[in-house]
Amino acid sequence: MVEASSILNAVIIGLASGTIYGVMALSFVLLYRIARVVNIAVGDMVLLGAYLILFFAELHLVPNPVLNILVAALLASLLSVALALFTERALFKPLYGQPVLTLIMMTVALGLLLRGATIIGWGTTLRVFPNQNEIWPLHPLEIGPVKLPYVYVWSITGALLIFGAFLYIFRKTIFGIAMRAVSLDPEVAAAHGITISKMYIYSWIIAYVAAVLSGLILGAINGINIIISDLGLSRALPAALIGGIDSPSGALLGGLILGLIEHTLGTYLNIYLPGIRDVIPYLVLLVVLIIKPYGLFGTVRIERV
């Protein structure tokens, strides 16, 4: 018999880990929505992010370990802006106008490139962030019956900040409106003074920063290793699809649903069917797509006759 408090605990932890899936899915969704790039490299971007943060954290720029990791995350984000510029200008700009498949193949290449770079730079042994136990104490945060590891507190806070800022910009500012306009009709948007290629660069930058910051949380939970790459892709993709592939708020919802089911049903069934936990995301995806083919929040195109 499972205790009520442990179910509650599983639910909370599921939702907490769902936030990080949501951020990764946001990275995927935004690129698809704006630049029509199906980004298979999202997991590798997360992987690179984790290693970049590790790299900057090991420099020990600030004595305080918590501040140190925050500074490292900031520096890694700044570096990822440069990477985003490189990716868009050098790899994808020549390909716009080509069939979707070409772009997908390029993201596969990008993924291998990033993964190769991390292997060359850091090898394949499992690493952890320096002073990890001081940043995220082993003893979990206890709120009533719920025991929440500190890394999830970070994950929730970070995801709320990222989604809050992003959704505000995307929904309320003229910049966000212009971004959505480009996603709907680039040619018309261009005639109204919106530079399409710049919008693509911005979406790459946001995608990179979101992925890199997810690397911090995934790296803290699983340790930093090549495995993060597959983990990232296998969670970001179904979360994005569940939410409707082009909806940022859907990405968060998709991530939450995924995390919840993985940590409740998945963990429970895993005792009887080892490995089912990694399949569950795709089963959820299947069910959602059968019921709502556009995903939960996906854009149903208006067709006036």
Partner 1 sequence: MFISPKLTRDAMPGNFLILNNVEVTFDPFILVIKGVSMEVEKGSIVALLGANGMGKSTILKAISGVIRLERGRVTKGYIEFNGRRIENMMPDAVARLGITYVHEGRHVFEELTVEEDILSGLYGRRKMDPKDALEFVYNYFPRLKERRKIRSGYLSGGEQQMLVIARALISQPDVLLLDEPSLGLFPSVINEIFDIVKKINEYEGLTVILAEQNVKKALEIADYGYVVEGGKIVLDGTPEKLMNNPDVQDYYLGIGRAGRISYQDVKSYKRRKRWIS
Cβ of residue 203: shortest distance to partner 1, in angstroms? 15
206 contacts partner 1 (rule: CB under 8 A): no
144 contacts partner 1 (rule: CB under 8 A): no
35 contacts partner 1 (rule: CB under 8 A): no
189 contacts partner 1 (rule: CB under 8 A): yes
305 contacts partner 1 (rule: CB under 8 A): no
DSSP track, the chain? ---HHHHHHHHHHHHHHHHHHHHHHHHHHHHHHHH----TTHHHHHHHHHHHHHHHHHT--SSSHHHHHHHHHHHHHHHHHHHHHHIIIIIIGGGTTS-HHHHHHHHHHHHHHHHHHHHHHH-SS-B--TTHHHHS-SSPEEETTEEE-HHHHHHHHHHHHHHHHHHHHHHHSHHHHHHHHHHH-HHHHHHTT--HHHHHHHHHHHHHHHHHHHHHHHHHHH-BSTHHHHHHHHHHHHHHHHT-TT-HHHHHHHHHHHHHHIIIIIHHHHTTSTTHHHHHHHHHHHHHHHH-TT-SS--------
138 contacts partner 1 (rule: CB under 8 A): no
194 contacts partner 1 (rule: CB under 8 A): yes
For residues 273 to 302, the per-residue mask of contacts with partner 1, x marking binding by CB under 8 A and - elsewhere, is: --------------------------x-xx
Task: Tell me the number of residues near partner 1 by CB under 8 A.
Answer: 23
Cβ of residue 178: shortest distance to partner 1, in angstroms? 4
Cβ of residue 256: shortest distance to partner 1, in angstroms? 24
Give the number of C-alpha atoms closer than 13 A to the C-alpha of residue 161, restricted to the C-beta side: 10
175 contacts partner 1 (rule: CB under 8 A): yes
Nearer to partner 1, 103 or 261 (CB): 103
* CA separation for the pair 127, 226 (Å, rounded): 10
CB 213 within 8 A of CB 23: yes
Nearer to partner 1, 90 or 302 (CB): 302
Nearer to partner 1, 176 or 223 (CB): 176
Cβ of residue 194: shortest distance to partner 1, in angstroms? 5
Instruction: Quote the distance between the C-alpha of residue 6 and its chain's center.
Output: 27
CB 73 within 8 A of CB 9: no
Cβ of residue 302: shortest distance to partner 1, in angstroms? 3
CB 264 within 8 A of CB 17: no
Interface pick for partner 1 out of 1, 90, 125, 192 (rule CB under 8 A):
192
124 contacts partner 1 (rule: CB under 8 A): no
Cβ of residue 47: shortest distance to partner 1, in angstroms? 33
Nearer to partner 1, 42 or 189 (CB): 189
Interface pick for partner 1 out of 178, 218, 226, 261 (rule CB under 8 A):
178
Interface pick for partner 1 out of 169, 181, 265, 283 (rule CB under 8 A):
181
Cβ of residue 182: shortest distance to partner 1, in angstroms? 9
Q: Which residues bind partner 1 (CB under 8 A)?
A: 174-175, 177-178, 180-181, 184-196, 299, 301-302, 304
